[in-house]
Each structure stands twice: as C-alpha cells, then as structure tokens.
Amino acid sequence: MTIGILGGGQLGRMLVLAGAPLGLQFKILDPSSEAVAGQLAPLLCEDINDVPALLWFSKNLDVVTYEWENVPVGSAKYLAARVPVFPPPRALEISSDRLKEKSFFRENGVPTPDFAAIESRAELDAALKEIGLPAVLKTRKFGYDGKGQFVLKTPRDADKAWEKLGGVPLILESFVPFEREVSILAVRGQGGEKRFYPLVENHHREGILRLSLVGAGLTSSSNRLDETQLEEDVSPASLQSDAEKFASKLLDKLDYVGVMALELFQIGERLLANEIAPRVHNSGHWTIEGSVCSQFENHLRAVAGLPLGSTEMKAPFAAMVNLIGHLPPLCEVLRIEGAHAHFYGKEIKAGRKVGHITLTASSREELQSAVDAAQLLTADGRR
C-alpha cells in the first residue's frame, strides 16, 4: 500500500518511520526540496496548490493524508475526488479558521472560552463590552505557535490590538486564567472505532511547545520550565473522561479518520477547548516509546483501514522535551536513563524544532531527574 503525505516536515518523517515496519510505502509532496521526510521517502517537490502537480502526485496512491494543518482545503478536496483523503478535508476547513472551529465546538456541546467574530473596530468595542477584559484578539486564519495574537489587558489596549491585527477577519476570546494547558490525542478508524491516549500537560514558552508531561495524575506545580516540580493531580479521572467525551463527539461529527489532537485549558475541574489539530501532534511525540502503539502508527493504521493499536502507556510516566534551535551531542542525550533521541535531520535555525527527547520512567522521582537532565541539554538549559 502506498500512502501520500502532504507536507514533508518532521511529522511526515516520523509517519514514514512508523510505517516502514508495516511494509507501507510513501510518497511526499512538499514545496521545499529540504523537506526532511524526503530523506526517507520519495519527495515530489512542488507547490501544494498546483493542480498538475496534485494530479501527478495522486497517481498510484491508495490513500492520502497530511501532516500540515495549513494544507489548502481546495487541494485536499481536489485530491479527495481522486483518492481517499484522511482525515476528511472538512476537518481542515474547520481547524484552519478559529471562528469556525470555536463555533463547531459550541454546536457540539464542547465548552470554549467566550468568543465573538470581529470584522471592524466597532465590532471590537462592542465585543469587549460583552466579553470583558482581559481578552485575546486573534486572527481567524494562519495563526500558529502564538503568532497573530494580542492580549488586551486595559481598554486602551484596543487601539494597539487593532493597529496590529485589524484589516483581516478576527476573533476575540475571553482570556482564560488556566492552571494548565493539556491536550488529548485521539484516533478514529474507518469503521468508527476510537482510542484515546492519556491527557498530556503541555508547557509553552514564546508560543512554542517546550515540554509535555504524562502519567497517572501527573501535574507540575510551576509554569516555569526551569523549576518544573512534578506533583500529583487532584482529579485526573474526571478530566480524562471529559476530554475523551469532547474528542469523541468531534471525531464522530466529522466522520473523522486518523489522529486528532484537541488542545484544552484546565481551570480546576473544568476543561475549555482551545483548538484542534487534524493530524499527529507535537504533544503526542512521547507515544513513540511511551505507548504500546504510537500516535504515528495509529494514524497510519486508521488511514490504511487497519485495526487500531493499544494506546496504553508502557511505563507509568513519560515526558517529551523539544529541542529548539539547538541539538545537543547525541551521547549526552543517551546518557540519560530512559531517554530516547529523535533528531529530525533539519538544518539548525533559531526557534526551529530540530528534534525531541522522549523520556519514560517508573516513578515520579525518576521522571523528575530525567526531565531536569534533558532540559539542561536544550538551548535554554545551556544559557
């Protein structure tokens, strides 16, 4: 079976790595000749909007998937008329527009922060009266890793926010005083069967994911990465079941096939949905060594129409430390007990995700010392 992947970054590369033992073949479409999945599978280097290129790409493929959430919906639909495309293009359409996404959550009973569509300065003023301060103004499209956003704290910030973002369709959201940012990775097969990974606690800095923690009721008491103290959570079971309920609803509604990430804010016992990613996700990288079947293999199993694999953890605790703009010497990573290195084969540039370290541990203390050691190897840890 040959699977076409739109986008050839590290996610595509890890899909190829997971598919090789299953005997799956791949073809990648990416506009960049540097796309790192191309080191492992044939790469067609063309514009993802180019119709003749899409037609050429679709030849002899059994199914198409994508690793890039900004895949143009038109391109996904064009391909879907010729070969099955999973996840369905509708998932791309919804996730690429924050207003459609939040409205979709609301329609399906998934709680979200308050929000309003903003097209004009007058609408911004009216929405601020309704939603109150603090609030976050975001572009509806093309925002990622915290880009295209402005946090409004005082009424005077409205001018600054409008100056920075006005002119394109926007969404205003209430600012959520969350305790933690979490995500749930879920997978749905072609027959509608579903599996869920345990909730992951995510730590960002400058809008980029730095650290993911997972394990029985694990939570850190600090949002500062340099002093992450792992503690026990109060109510992991109810949060997990709420997150599964929300993800399940969205997956079924979209007749989804593949892995989806749902990112949520936790405030006490409540979860509010922030966004979905219709693809394998950075907060699921720990599953490569941390789960019986990784998010990458489960995504491939789903899109290929194969039985789904177990999402059980192989060890009670796991973590993922992103390597951003810097790769430490491999031997220093491997010296950490329970650590696995994933270097993406990318050219190193400031702010670029160039690898990650997966950590598994049998106790909270063991994970703590592994996370501390791994964080010392990141660009931040070295400063």
Rank residues 259 and 308 by Cβ distance to ligand AMP and give the closer one: 259
Sign of CA dihedral 140, 144, 147, 152: positive
From the list 173, 244, 289, 297, which residue makes contact with ligand AMP (rule: CB under 6 A)? 173
Which string of x and - marks every residue 137-166 that binds ligand AMP (by CB under 6 A)? ------x--x--------------------
Instruction: Classify the phi-psi angles of 255: left when phi > 0, otherwise alpha if psi is within -120 to 50, otherwise beta.
Output: left
Alpha carbon 299 to chain centroid distance?
A: 13
Residues with Cβ < 8 Å from 295, sequence gap 6 or more?
Answer: 185, 187, 197, 259, 280, 281, 284, 285, 287
Rank residues 180 and 195 by Cβ distance to ligand AMP and give the closer one: 180
Alpha carbon 146 to chain centroid distance?
A: 13
Q: How far is the CB of 114 from ligand AMP (least distance, A)?
A: 9
Q: How far is the CB of 89 from ligand AMP (least distance, A)?
A: 22
Q: Is 132 in the site for ligand AMP (CB under 6 A)?
A: no
Beta partners for 170?
118, 139
* Strands of the 63-66 sheet, one edge to the other: 43-44, 25-29, 2-6, 63-66
From the list 38, 89, 113, 189, which residue makes contact with ligand AMP (rule: CB under 6 A)? 113
Residues with Cβ < 8 Å from 195, sequence gap 6 or more?
Answer: 186, 187, 298, 308, 309, 310, 311
From the list 171, 176, 288, 367, which residue makes contact with ligand AMP (rule: CB under 6 A)? 176
Q: Is 325 in the site for ligand AMP (CB under 6 A)?
A: no
Using CB under 6 A, which of the segments 52-60, 172-180, 229-237, 246-254 binds ligand AMP? 172-180
Q: How far is the CB of 96 from ligand AMP (least distance, A)?
A: 12
Tokens 């079976």 -> residue: 1
Q: Is 204 in the site for ligand AMP (CB under 6 A)?
A: yes
Q: How far is the CB of 112 from ligand AMP (least distance, A)?
A: 9
Of 124, 179, 178, 180, the closest CA to residue 152 belongs to 124
Per-residue buried b or exposed e for 49-65, using 16+ beta carbons within 10 Å of the residue's own CB: eeeebbeebbeebebbb
Residue type, position 320, single letter: M
Using CB under 6 A, which of the segments 24-32, 44-52, 55-63, 173-181 binds ligand AMP? 173-181
Query: With contacts defined by CB under 6 A, how many residues of the chain interact with ligand AMP?
Result: 12
Residues with Cβ < 8 Å from 37, sequence gap 6 or more?
Answer: 5, 7, 8, 9, 10, 12, 13, 15, 16, 26, 28, 30, 43, 67
From the list 181, 244, 289, 297, which residue makes contact with ligand AMP (rule: CB under 6 A)? 181
The Cα–Cα gap between 25 and 62 comes to 10
Total length of the chain: 383
Q: How far is the CB of 90 from ligand AMP (least distance, A)?
A: 20
Rank residues 102 and 356 by Cβ distance to ligand AMP and give the closer one: 102
Q: How far is the CB of 181 from ligand AMP (least distance, A)?
A: 5
Can you tell me whether residue 26 is helix, strand or coil? Answer: strand
Q: Is 207 in the site for ligand AMP (CB under 6 A)?
A: yes
Rank residues 138 and 188 by Cβ distance to ligand AMP and give the closer one: 138
Residue nearest to ligand AMP (CB): 176
Residue type, position 255, single letter: D
Q: How far is the CB of 136 from ligand AMP (least distance, A)?
A: 5
The Cα–Cα gap between 192 and 303 comes to 12
Rank residues 80 and 133 by Cβ distance to ligand AMP and give the closer one: 133
- Contacts to ligand AMP from residues 261-280, by CB under 6 A: 274-275
From the list 6, 43, 48, 136, which residue makes contact with ligand AMP (rule: CB under 6 A)? 136
Which string of x and - marks every residue 221-260 that binds ligand AMP (by CB under 6 A)? ----------------------------------------
Q: How far is the CB of 175 from ligand AMP (least distance, A)?
A: 4
Half-sphere exposure of 252 (CA within 13 A, CB side): 10
Judged by the rule CB under 6 A, the positions of this chain that interact with ligand AMP are 113, 136, 143, 146, 173, 175-176, 181, 204, 207, 274-275
